[in-house]
Amino acid sequence: MLNPITRGTSISSMQGEFGTRRRGLFGIIVSALLLSLAPAPARCDVESIHNGSDPANGIRTVRLEEVWRVGGEDSEILMGVIADALARPNGEILLLDQQLCQVLVYSAEGAYLRTLGREGDGPGEVRLPRQILWTGDEALGFVHRAPGRVTRIDMEGTPLPSFELKTEDGGVPGMMQLNRAYAGDGFVVINGSEWKNEDDARQEYGFLGIFDENGVPRRRLMTETSGFNFTDRSYDETNDNTLGTSCWAVDQEGFVYYAPERDRYEIDVLDAVGNPVRTIERDYERNRRTSERKEELAKGYSMSINGEAVQLTTHFLDFDPVINWIRIDEQGRLLVSHSRSRLDLPDGIIETWDVFDREGRFQYVLQLAGEMNKDQDRLIPLVDGRFVLLRNILDAQRAMWAGYGNDDGDDKEEDLSESEPLEVVLLRAVAP
């Protein structure tokens, strides 16, 4: 059966585009798994764009101005943990509540309109979804991490055909999960993980792959080990070669951008079937981690065993990964957040991005001016140029995972009792 996929939007991390609209079944058949994908082609005769450390047009600044705000102590609408956001062409905002397994829809002016989705395993039902994306003509997809699948509904909440991972012969694959997906015009890009038993130990592999509209694998871009050793209950960043969940993007023409190297400012561009087009590089001084930073990172590495959190033995590298995330805006410009994007900033600046034109030339550094608690809040840029600010999202996440028995600290109860409620703020960029 032909399963047409139309260009959509993926923002969980913050990238994606609206595009042509054809309704059809959203289906992906992931073979067992990545070994069957065609390998990435050789990179001979690929255009290389090398940029210096300074942009051609200096620094530009925009101020983030509040449009509306929802949530907080006096909210009549219950919110758990907002994990993702999408914008509709009519200005409406969709907020994915991972904890309550639903999407809240607000008007462009901030009025609550309706709730879509619900918790469960039936048609149109979801559990702990991590991302929402457009998968066709106003068809909304929920990405499940494990088991890896996408549940689809229309904007009235009516269930649509969904997909689950399968092998080439229609069987059920091994332990596998999805991190993010992007539905393009006739193709799908998927980032996820799978586990294999090797030498009496379980090994996790991360992957990024391109699939056609029928779910047939087109190209494997990356298949790398994760650095976790579940037998020894350890994590060694030296062995972690996986692609960051947000270190890839797709533009309106179907070109795929991804950062293949942890320690290099390099972004490879491929067409929708995986053929290399160009490589974009920038001179960059890596950010060295302090011992305090490594200790803080280690606190986030634990696993749940019989409902109890067990701290992992960890080893971290001396430098942060160069690229935090990449995305493409409506004008086709490449936006990059790197390891220094939130460091040593002028007063009133919350973040900086590198901006490249369509040809990969480093044009300017964009400074975002506004108010944000960098330890508690999260900023989600929308494809239409607006932003969703999640205030106090860290405390909301901690409260959710504590409820799942993943509380690993004696002082969590006290901390949570003093936390502020989650607020969602829609922002727009204006001249300073």
Contact 349, 368 (CB under 8 A): yes
- Global pTM? 0.83
Alpha carbon 1 to its chain's center: 30
Domain that holds residue 155: 9-34+56-408+417-430
What is the C-alpha separation between 262 and 209, in angstroms, rounded? 18
3 inside domain: no
What is the C-alpha separation between 405 and 62, in angstroms, rounded? 42
399 band by pLDDT with thresholds 50, 70 and 90: confident
44 inside domain: no
313 inside domain: yes
318 inside domain: yes
Amino acid (one-letter) located at 395: D
- What's the CATH code of the domain at 367? 2.120.10.30
40 inside domain: no
Place of tokens 């918790």: 119
Cα angle value 428/65/109 (rounded, 5°): 60
What is the C-alpha separation between 139 and 4, in angstroms, rounded? 12
Tokens of 317: 């590298």
Q: How many domains does the chain have?
A: 1
228 inside domain: yes
Span 303-330, pLDDT tens digits: 777 767 788 999 999 999 999 999 999 8
Span 141-179, pLDDT tens digits: 999 887 778 889 999 999 998 776 655 555 556 677 889
81 inside domain: yes
